[in-house]
């Protein structure tokens, strides 16, 4: 085919005609700026390209295909990262963490597939999680759990050398905070060992506090001072058996370490149950839920405090706020059912519990099976949901007891409450007031049902129930006085 040659004529004066042949009018059907007629345009388009155009075209096609392939592989992860960043701005931190976790999982799966097809690429980490996303997840852990927990997780998960990178360098701060906490904790253990304390009345509080202050005087920091005040509060509570000596130290800790709320809110809640004064607790909970709308456990503490203080309207409004940011959460149904019980509406509470089972029953059952088959392998998000489900278990049991369905209450508590208490106490090493409440409810239900085997099992595994549980089982208090009037707190 003849190559295109530039025309040897000059452009005609009449601009309506083709710039190439000058004989036919320009074809402006497709474009108003067209300079050629249709025959000339067709002939020019048939001109053969030069040789180097072919390899260039092949290269463009290969690069385009590669770009589309990479985009297909990474788009799902990118969407999750963008969603996670949006949720952080909306203060929904657990939801944000879930999105970032999805992004990491997607990229990990893509890399596994790539390595299966091309083993030689195994060391390149083409689709490994980005450092920025990884660091963001640890930042979220510091905000939702504690900076101490973030420090432990970083040391466990990451190589120390990786913290020198620009994106991960800031994570070293969490490790330093964890080290400060351990330093204070270890020194407190040494001090208590020296005194060989056998009973609370033997604790020399002033002397121990002086020794703790000496620890804080070396390289002082807000973190060190805050953890010292935390331990002072713990020792004071153990020594006095009450909260009068405890609260001043907690107040100091809160001012120094407001973000470490997991270390002081439960103590404030127990103080409220002991004294009936929940004002400080509700104020602190409001600060936390404003920073993280997914803090279901903190909403629960605050709502229970409002219920116990008689503010049922405020508690129900807080339940709706909880649901707005945490749809179909089992805690919502449990807390709303508690409000119904306090209003004396037992049938209404039963209906709400039934709705909670319908919305969450299958997921709760799945996690029970996970727990029984592999107690240490529940993922972080699933474990959080699992722990939230137990207030619903407690309220369902209370409803069954108030309806005189003792076998039903015993069945619920032994099959669910006992399992939770076993998991929480033996697997995690924790035996806190929540666990004790579950054990008490298992005992009360079994005692009223006349199930000696369950009562014996509970005593063998956990020891004697609390005095209030024994009084309730002995019917010194009616079930209505406990669950409707709130004369004893089991939730």
Give yes or no for residue 213 having a pLDDT over 70: yes
Given CA atoms 162, 168, 170, 175 in this order, what sign does their dihedral have?
Answer: negative
Residues 182 and 148: their CA atoms lie apart, in Å, by: 9
Residues 275 and 270: their CA atoms lie apart, in Å, by: 9
Q: What is the DSSP string of 354-412?
A: HHHHHHHHHHHHHHHHHHHH-TT---HHHHHHHHHHHHHHHHHHHHHHHTT-HHHHHHH
Residues 153 and 381: their CA atoms lie apart, in Å, by: 15
Identify the CA nearest to 389 among candidates 354, 405, 365, 370.
365
CA dihedral 391, 393, 396, 402 (to 10 degrees): -80
Identify the CA nearest to 312 among candidates 294, 333, 276, 338.
338
Give yes or no for residue 66 having a pLDDT over 80: no
Q: Structure pTM? A: 0.79
Q: What is the pLDDT of residue 438?
A: 87
**3-class secondary-structure state, position 17:** strand
Q: What is the pLDDT of residue 125?
A: 47
Q: What is the pLDDT of residue 468?
A: 92
* Contact criterion met (CB below 8 Å) for 486 and 307: yes
Residue 219 Ramachandran class (φ > 0 left, ψ -120 to 50 alpha, else beta): left
Identify the CA nearest to 360 among candidates 398, 399, 340, 334.
334
Residue 194 Ramachandran class (φ > 0 left, ψ -120 to 50 alpha, else beta): alpha
Identify the CA nearest to 447 among candidates 384, 401, 388.
401
What confidence tens digit (pLDDT) does each residue in 27-49 have?
Answer: 666 667 777 788 887 777 776 77
| Strand partners for 482 | none
What burial class does residue 372 get, using C-beta atoms within 10 Å of its C-beta: 0-12 exposed, 13-18 middle, 19+ buried?
A: exposed
Identify the CA nearest to 195 among candidates 187, 183, 206, 203.
203
Average pLDDT in the 180-207 region? 82
What confidence tens digit (pLDDT) does each residue in 290-324 have?
Answer: 999 999 999 999 999 999 999 999 999 999 999 99
Give yes or no for residue 268 having a pLDDT over 80: yes
**3-class secondary-structure state, position 206:** helix
Residue 239 Ramachandran class (φ > 0 left, ψ -120 to 50 alpha, else beta): alpha
Q: Measured at the alpha carbon of residue 60, what is the angle toward residues 53 and 77, in degrees to the nearest 5?
A: 175
Domain boundaries, the chain: 1-48, 54-129, 145-272
């Amino acid at each position: 085919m003849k190559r295109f040659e530039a025309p040897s004529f000059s452009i005609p004066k009449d601009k309506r005609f083709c710039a190439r042949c000058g004989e036919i009018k320009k074809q402006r059907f497709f474009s108003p700026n067209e300079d050629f007629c249709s025959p000339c345009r067709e002939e020019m388009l048939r001109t053969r390209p030069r040789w180097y155009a072919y390899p260039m075209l092949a290269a463009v096609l290969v690069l385009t295909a590669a770009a589309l392939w990479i985009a297909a592989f990474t788009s799902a992860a990118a969407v999750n990262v963008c969603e996670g960043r949006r949720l952080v701005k909306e203060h929904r931190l657990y939801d944000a963490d879930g999105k970032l976790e999805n992004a990491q999982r997607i990229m990990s799966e893509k890399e596994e597939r790539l390595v299966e097809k091309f083993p030689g690429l195994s060391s390149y980490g083409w689709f490994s999680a980005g450092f920025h996303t990884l660091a963001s997840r640890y930042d979220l852990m510091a905000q939702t759990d504690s900076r101490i927990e973030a420090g432990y997780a970083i040391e466990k998960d990451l190589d120390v050398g990786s913290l020198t990178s620009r994106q991960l360098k800031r994570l070293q701060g969490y490790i330093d905070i964890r080290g400060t906490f351990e330093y204070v904790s270890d020194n407190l253990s040494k001090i208590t060992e020296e005194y060989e304390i056998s009973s609370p009345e033997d604790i020399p509080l002033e002397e121990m506090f002086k020794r703790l202050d000496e620890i804080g005087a070396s390289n002082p920091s807000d973190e060190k001072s805050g953890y010292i005040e935390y331990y002072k509060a713990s020792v004071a509570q153990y020594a006095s058996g009450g909260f009068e000596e405890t609260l001043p130290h907690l107040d100091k800790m809160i001012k120094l370490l407001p973000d470490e709320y997991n270390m002081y809110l439960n103590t404030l809640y127990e103080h409220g149950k002991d004294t009936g004064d929940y004002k400080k607790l509700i104020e602190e909970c409001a600060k936390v839920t404003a920073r993280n709308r997914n803090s279901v456990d903190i909403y629960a503490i605050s709502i229970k405090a409002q219920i116990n203080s008689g503010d049922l309207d405020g508690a129900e409004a807080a339940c709706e706020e909880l649901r707005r940011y945490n749809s179909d959460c089992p805690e919502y149904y449990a807390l709303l059912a508690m409000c119904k019980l306090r209003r004396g509406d037992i049938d209404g509470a039963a209906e709400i519990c039934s709705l909670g089972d319908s919305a969450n029953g299958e997921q709760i059952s799945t996690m029970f099976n996970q727990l029984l088959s592999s107690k240490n392998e529940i993922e972080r998000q699933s474990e959080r949901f699992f722990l939230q489900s137990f207030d619903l278990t407690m309220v369902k049991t209370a409803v069954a007891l108030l309806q005189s369905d003792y076998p039903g209450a015993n069945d619920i508590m032994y099959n669910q409450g006992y399992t939770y208490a076993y998991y929480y106490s033996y697997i995690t090493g924790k035996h806190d007031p929540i666990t004790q409440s579950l054990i008490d409810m298992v005992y009360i239900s079994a005692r009223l049902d006349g199930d000696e085997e369950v009562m014996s099992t509970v005593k063998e595994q956990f020891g004697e129930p609390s005095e209030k549980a024994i009084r309730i089982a002995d019917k010194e208090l009616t079930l209505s006085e406990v669950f409707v009037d709130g004369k004893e707190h089991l939730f």
